[in-house]
Structure 1
Amino acid sequence: MSNEAAEDLEDLYENAPCGYLSLARDGRIVKSNATLSAWLGFSAEELLKKRFHDLLNVAGRIFFETHFAPLLRMQGFFHEVALDFVTMDGTKLPVLANATERRDDQGDLLFTRITIFKAVDRRRYERDLVDARAAAEAARRELQALNASLETRVRVAVEERLRVEDSLMRERELAELREQFIAILGHDLRNPLASFGGGVRMLRREHLTPHGERLLDLMQGSILRMSGLIDNVLDFARGRLGGGIGLNIQSEPLQPVLEQVVGELRAASPDARIESDLSISTPVPCDHVRIGQLASNLLGNALTHGDQDHPVRVKAFIAQDEFVLWVANKGEPIPDAAMQRLFQPFFRGEVHSGNGLGLGLHIAAEIAKAHGGVLTAESSDSEIRFTFRMPLTPPPAKQVSE
């Protein structure tokens, strides 16, 4: 192939009428073209520091995480997925995305290719249709209002009473909706997920091909991931709608709970190293399930974002009148601007970006607060450390029904 032909191919990729992205196995962007950079306002070097999720708005992240990412892992492709990118200046860019996975002869994922098409005109056409329908509906309502105004002159007192009753009914409906929302998250989503998990465990007893085993591993990972998402969203809903995270305070040994959490994460991440030093000689009055959840969130965060060549360290001990638990890992320092928002919901900065909804650290901080404790973060060139401190005299137990 001549140099001129090679240059034409490079120009075709860089200046194509659509955006191109190539993702590594962990979702990091490893290649993009100039067209996409021009649309988003980020240089190619800036895009290489991001993951695909970082380009989406919050709603797009949730939709992609719960619908299209599992579909991509199961069938290896998806077509014409409507997403909203966020450009460098914060504006929204509607797009349509097509994706396909590239695997080796053994079926292992090598990378994912994604093509991006602008959908501004299509979205504008859809909005015009919605506006047209809204205008027709508004005209119909205006006619109804004109007719109703003739009757209101003789029924003012009755309608006033109806408005008061309607307001009271809406408040009751809102309270019922809040309870139903939490109940759905707590039960209706957990039950089918438990059935899926049981089915996967039963299938593992069968004789399967290596490809079947890999599919089961993907399904099991999706189940664990969805279970964590449900737990985090449930706790977030309780914190915002249901009166806070409930506690069941018990004064029992805490070390077995933390050892179980470490063991589960070691099994889930066999290639990672976790060094634990758990020295808790006396029972700790706390909600042991919640403290286990806090430790799991911190360890999972460190395993996801830490340097894979260095171990993740976890230590728990009693110091004077407080319980201390810290998790440390080697990684790129967290910028000061990101440190100020680290425990906010749905926040994932440049360094701590990745899969998930950005609720793990927020839920961990809320659990610490519910126990009368505090969760802090320290970042330096040598390590990133999250420290949880809790007084040994806990706050009164608060129960929240599921």
Structure 2
Amino acid sequence: MTGAGTQGSPPAEDLEDLYENAPCGYLSLQPDGRIVKVNRTLSAWIGIPVDQLLGKRLHDLLNMPGRIFYETHFAPLLRMQGFFNEVALDLVTSDGRKLPVLANAMERRAEDGALLFTRVTMFQAAERRRYERELVDARAAADAASAMVKSQLELEQETAELREQFIAILGHDLRNPLASIAAAARMLRKEEQTDRATKILDLMQGSVIRMSGLIDNVLDFARGQLGGGITLKRQVEDLEPILRQVIDELRSSHPDRAIEVSIEFDGPINCDSGRIGQLVSNLLGNALTHGTPDEPVRFSAATDEQRLELWIANGGAPISSDAMTGLFQPFFKGEAGTSQRGLGLGLHIASEIARAHGGTIMVSSDDEETRFTFVMPLD
């Protein structure tokens, strides 16, 4: 007779079954970003067989906003710190439905530091998203009910406060950490670094410059939408140093591109040099993004007794007449099917800066070149 204490050991856990049928999705990515392993759970969630998922990129499983987030946040964050936690993404199922998930990822590296693969875990988040939306809706309903009993003066005061808070958050909570990252990168560059560390510092520098431009554009767009408009601090000053600085920053983030520069000023100019530098940064960045890589981008700035004129030209396919009509509209993304980075605010902000200076931006585009010309009267 078997005793009470010898009725048998509990069954051993099947690790393969635990992976394949876990209550969460698992996938592993090769160093080139392609899926090398995925479990049945994730395959069932999105309705795509495992063998059809192998070789795809995670980017291919996301909706358009998710792809943008992947390129601007997911991939750079992994390269810089090797992991991330609780990133909200939306997968696209085989029948076109959106599947909200929360993703965690961690790189696995060899002893010599070489990347072996990246492990990604996904949890369904539909209920969590629904709960969050309900909270937002409830807050909005409460705010609307409260607004009905306020006087017009109180509403205007509240709007002004919200505007200032929003601008303060963008200006302080985003700029200060970015400045710290830039300062840390500069300090590290003064020390001896490995080739890999140097490449990471180059990536950080390019990201800081790009993020600074995005913050400037979003901040200015927010001011314009909330009633503040583009603000200027005009004074008579030498404009050339700020233009040289902007050009050098873009050269550092596009080391493989040639920029030809010609600047001929008669003397100091009455303008907001920082804003003019922002205008040039947006136009020059646009030319570097869309111009033919093997042709130089040309920049010219000059003054006479009556006006300042600067232009930026690049080679490449001409802008279509349809695209030309919306070129300076906010969130304009250009030709359908083209791959563009950014929020579509750069040209809009540039045109607003030009208008605030009493000037204009004109565009010409043909098979030989695309040229943006800014003209501003001199007081």
What TM-score results when the alignment is normalised by the length of structure 2? Answer: 0.68
1:240-255 equivalent positions in 2, closer than 5 A:
240-255=225-240
Counterpart among 267, 270, 275 of residue 285 in structure 1: 270
Return the alpha-carbon distance in structure 1 between the equivalents of residues 361 and 99 of structure 2: 38
Return the alpha-carbon distance in structure 2 between the equivalents of residues 186 and 354 of structure 1: 25
1:92-241 equivalent positions in 2, closer than 5 A:
93-94=98-99, 164-165=149-150, 169-241=154-226
CA contact (8 A) 1:245 1:367 kept: yes
Give the match for residue 5 of structure 2: none
Q: Secondary structure at the match of 1:229?
A: helix
Look up the equivalent residue of 1:385 and give its one-letter code.
R
Once the two structures are superposed, residues 223-262 of structure 1 have per-residue CA deviations (whole angstroms, 9 ceiling, x without a partner) of 2222111111111111111411111112233233323322
Return the alpha-carbon distance in structure 2 between the equivalents of residues 302 and 323 of structure 1: 20
Look up the equivalent residue of 1:376 and give its one-letter code.
M
Give the match for residue 387 of structure 1: 373
Provide structure 2 residue ranges, at least 5 long, that are not aligned to the other structure: 1-47
Query: Structure 1 residue 18: deviation in Å?
Result: 4.8
Once the two structures are superposed, residues 255-308 of structure 1 have per-residue CA deviations (whole angstroms, 9 ceiling, x without a partner) of 333233223322332221111121222332211111111111111111122111
Give the match for residue 365 of structure 1: 351
Distance of aligned partners of 1:277 and 1:356 in 2 relative to their CA distance in 1, 3 Å threshold: same
Distance of aligned partners of 1:258 and 1:70 in 2 relative to their CA distance in 1, 3 Å threshold: same
Query: Structure 1 residue 383: deviation in Å?
Result: 0.9
| 2:334 paired with 1:328 | no
Give the match for residue 26 of structure 2: none
Give the match for residue 256 of structure 1: 241
CA contact (8 A) 1:251 1:286 kept: yes
1:63-74 equivalent positions in 2, closer than 5 A:
63-64=69-70, 67-74=73-80
Look up the equivalent residue of 1:359 and give its one-letter code.
L
Give the match for residue 398 of structure 1: none
Counterpart among 41, 55, 64 of residue 56 in structure 1: 64
Look up the equivalent residue of 1:373 and give its one-letter code.
G
CA contact (8 A) 2:234 2:271 kept: yes
Look up the equivalent residue of 2:299 and give its one-letter code.
V
Q: Secondary structure at the match of 2:149?
A: helix
Q: Of the two structures, which has the highest relative contact order with CA contacts closer than 8 Å and spacing of 6 or more?
A: 1
Return the alpha-carbon distance in structure 2 between the equivalents of residues 68 and 327 of structure 1: 33
Give the match for residue 376 of structure 1: 362
Distance of aligned partners of 1:205 and 1:382 in 2 relative to their CA distance in 1, 3 Å threshold: same
Deviates more, 1:263-272 or 1:162-171: 162-171
CA contact (8 A) 1:280 1:316 kept: yes
CA contact (8 A) 1:333 1:381 kept: yes
| 2:255 paired with 1:270 | yes
Look up the equivalent residue of 2:197 and give its one-letter code.
G
Q: Secondary structure at the match of 1:325?
A: strand
Distance of aligned partners of 1:163 and 1:82 in 2 relative to their CA distance in 1, 3 Å threshold: closer
CA contact (8 A) 2:147 2:155 kept: no
Query: Structure 1 residue 64: deviation in Å?
Result: 4.6
Distance of aligned partners of 1:196 and 1:392 in 2 relative to their CA distance in 1, 3 Å threshold: same
Q: Secondary structure at the match of 1:382?
A: coil
Return the alpha-carbon distance in structure 1 between the equivalents of residues 161 and 75 of structure 2: 33
Give the match for residue 299 of structure 1: 284
CA contact (8 A) 1:321 1:392 kept: yes
Distance of aligned partners of 1:72 and 1:381 in 2 relative to their CA distance in 1, 3 Å threshold: farther
CA contact (8 A) 2:266 2:304 kept: no
Return the alpha-carbon distance in structure 2 between the equivalents of residues 162 and 259 of structure 1: 50
Q: Secondary structure at the match of 1:189?
A: helix
Q: Secondary structure at the match of 2:216?
A: helix
Return the alpha-carbon distance in structure 2 between the equivalents of residues 161 and 220 of structure 1: 46
CA contact (8 A) 1:107 1:211 kept: no
CA contact (8 A) 1:73 1:218 kept: no
CA contact (8 A) 1:327 1:385 kept: yes
Look up the equivalent residue of 1:73 and give its one-letter code.
R
Return the alpha-carbon distance in structure 1 between the equivalents of residues 323 and 50 of structure 2: 34
Return the alpha-carbon distance in structure 2 between the equivalents of residues 302 and 247 of structure 1: 25
CA contact (8 A) 2:305 2:378 kept: no
Identity level (%): 56
Q: Secondary structure at the match of 2:224?
A: helix
Return the alpha-carbon distance in structure 2 between the equivalents of residues 352 and 375 of structure 1: 24
Return the alpha-carbon distance in structure 1 between the equivalents of residues 153 and 281 of structure 2: 43
Query: Structure 1 residue 312: deviation in Å?
Result: 0.3
What TM-score results when the alignment is normalised by the length of structure 1? Answer: 0.65
Q: Secondary structure at the match of 2:267?
A: coil
